[in-house]
């Protein structure tokens, strides 16, 4: 057995294999639950774009699986746009959980002000999704920035020390497996509790095995998709039909005649 390749078919196969060996998939908010069951907590960090992430969500929903999708309010994609808000609502409709992915570089330095900002972001995300925010996670923890929100009773945090006992952590950051611990889930030494972090944007096209090639050929166009679609569908139409533009053109034509 080898580590999954980065494609949606491989992700579906991974879920099926986990189910076959007895893992029960759960969203991150269920980390607080005490259970003797073999459990895999499914977490997705949306770092690059929301476009097409529902393809992964649909794979899970077809298996009656609920996962947690962490969304940034301060990244270059805009969750408040009509386009992205529709994607978030579809994730909720498919039975998934939306969590807040917070970026401390955009937060106040004062601890009380930072906590108020966290709650404000959680409330805003809840209003966009129509779903209460139960769980939060920090963006880019590998940078080593101290996380002041790791142990809050109001929210479940995937890296809260209270939930880490015997928890195997597996991540696909930068479209790379940091180690081969995922394979232990299919061995006699399988961990009883697993947190599986994936980034859906990294699994959409299997035709680019080189990660930098994938970044340039797949991620870049997907990041620009919403802006390009808006430019093509809306801006061109407005510039062609706006009465102010027609008046300008008439005036210019009259000046030339």
Q: List per-residue pLDDT tens for the chain, 257 residues long.
A: 799 999 999 999 999 999 999 999 999 999 998 777 899 999 999 999 999 999 999 999 999 999 999 999 999 999 999 999 999 999 999 999 999 999 999 999 999 999 999 999 999 999 999 999 999 999 988 777 899 999 999 999 999 999 999 999 999 999 999 999 999 999 998 999 999 999 999 999 999 999 999 999 999 999 999 999 989 988 889 888 999 888 888 898 889 88
Quickly count: other Cβ atoms within 10 Å of residue 231's Cβ.
11
What is the reported pLDDT for 212? Answer: 96
Q: What is the Cα Rg of the chain in Å?
A: 22
What is the reported pLDDT for 157? Answer: 98
Distance CA 225, CA 204 (A): 14
What is the reported pLDDT for 84? Answer: 96
What is the reported pLDDT for 1? Answer: 78
8-205 CATH fold:
TIM Barrel (3.20.20)
The pLDDT tens digits of the residues spanning 184-207 come to 999 998 999 999 999 999 999 999
Spell out the domain ranges in the chain: 8-205, 212-256
Please state at what angle helix 220-230 crosses helix 82-93, rounded to 10 degrees.
120
What's the chain's length in residues?
Answer: 257
Own/partner pairs, 120-126, CB within 8 angstroms, 24+ separation: 121/73, 122/155, 124/73, 125/71, 125/73, 125/79, 125/98, 125/100
CA 135 to chain centroid, in Å, comes to 13
């Amino acid at each position: 057995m080898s580590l999954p390749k980065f494609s949606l078919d491989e992700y579906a196969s991974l879920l099926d294999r986990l189910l076959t060996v007895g893992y029960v998939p759960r969203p991150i908010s269920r980390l607080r639950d005490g259970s003797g069951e073999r459990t895999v907590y499914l977490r997705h960090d949306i770092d690059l774009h929301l476009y097409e992430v529902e393809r992964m969500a649909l794979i899970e929903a077809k298996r009656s699986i609920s996962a947690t999708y962490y969304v940034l309010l301060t990244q270059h994609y805009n969750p408040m746009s009509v386009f992205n808000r529709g994607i978030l609502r579809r994730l909720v409709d498919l039975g998934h959980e939306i969590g807040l992915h917070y970026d401390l570089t955009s937060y106040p330095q004062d601890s009380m002000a930072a906590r108020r900002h966290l709650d404000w972001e959680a409330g805003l995300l809840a209003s966009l999704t129509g779903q209460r925010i139960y769980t939060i996670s920090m963006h880019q923890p590998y940078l080593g920035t101290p996380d002041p929100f790791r142990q809050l009773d109001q929210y479940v945090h995937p890296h809260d020390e209270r939930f880490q006992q015997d928890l195997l952590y597996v991540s696909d950051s930068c479209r790379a497996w940091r180690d081969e611990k995922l394979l232990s889930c299919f061995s006699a030494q399988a961990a009883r509790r697993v947190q599986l972090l994936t980034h859906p944007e990294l699994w959409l096209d299997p035709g680019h095995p080189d990660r930098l090639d994938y970044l340039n050929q797949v991620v870049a166009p997907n990041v620009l998709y919403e802006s390009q679609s808006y430019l093509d569908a809306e801006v061109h139409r407005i510039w062609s039909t706006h009465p102010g533009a027609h008046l300008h053109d008439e005036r210019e034509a009259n000046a030339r005649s």
